[in-house]
Amino acid sequence: MKILFIGDIFAATGRKLVAEHLAFIVENENIDLTIANAENAAGGFGLTPPLAEGLFELGVHVLTSGNHIWDKREIYDHLARCPRLLRPANYPADLPGSGVAIVEARNGVRCAVMNLQGRVYMPATDCPFRKADALLESLPPDVKVRFVDFHAEVTSEKIAMGWHLDGRVSAMVGTHTHVPTADTRILPRGTAYQTDCGMTGPYDSVIGVEKADVVRKFQTSLPVRFEAAHGMAELHAVVVEVEPASGRALAIKRVCVRQNGEA
């Protein structure tokens, strides 16, 4: 079976790319399960219930997130009502939502999708490594296909998590830094890995934000209002092929769709 994971969907530009290209990718790659990180879908900062439901209607099965999931307060109640919308599992347990979902793919295979957040240069959370162990122990033993979105800042923490999970999950793909990495591979024990999937949004920018805003912030160290950029856009994703019986990854490849024009 094949899993499609779409990197951080950023603002209207990213949503437009998904709307225009998702159906083709799913058909062309024979995708069974589609997952996307949507924590930046609302103007680059957060997610709203209508935007989440719109992405589900386009064919995304599970939405993951990260630290920006808390930016829009209207999503809080929606997290509690929508089990296919995840927030990082290593936030306090009494917060709304969950960090794991078990869903049935198009081919009938039950799959676990897990969402974790790193701690280096990120908001304070529980240990993602220990939380990953607890999530895996809680899964039904017959759910062999397991995908992890690790939303973290530094490459070393993501790489360490990949080694920690190798052989216990089908794939671990990093998000948050919005820059795709070139280390796509299968780890020795059968886990597909990439340090960062990259962003789905405006690349004529600084990680999605208007260039001048970020340059001014660095030059002055003063508060600057960030605005989502427009223009040249790219969709970044990975396709992971998994053996359902064992959950071992057979292959992983990067997908990039480039498109010019404003959102």
Residues forming the active site: 68
Three-class SS of the chain: CEEEEECCECHHHHHHHHHHHHHHHHHHHCCCEEEEECCCCCCCCCCCHHHHHHHHHHCCCEEECCHHHHCCCCHHHHHHHCCCEECCCCCCCCCCCECEEEEECCCCCEEEEEEEECCCCCCCCCCHHHHHHHHHHHCCCCCCEEEEEEECCCHHHHHHHHHHHECCECEEEEECCCCCCCCCEECCCCCEEECCCCCEEECCCECCECHHHHHHHHHHCCCCCCCECCCCEEEEEEEEEECCCCCCEEEEEEEEEEECCCC
Query: Which value, to the nearest 10 degrees, does the dihedral of the CA atoms of residues 242, 55, 38, 177 take?
Result: 70
Number of Cβ atoms within 10 Å of the Cβ of 261: 10
User: What burial class does residue 86 get, using C-beta atoms within 10 Å of its C-beta: 0-12 exposed, 13-18 middle, 19+ buried?
Assistant: buried
Number of Cβ atoms within 10 Å of the Cβ of 230: 17
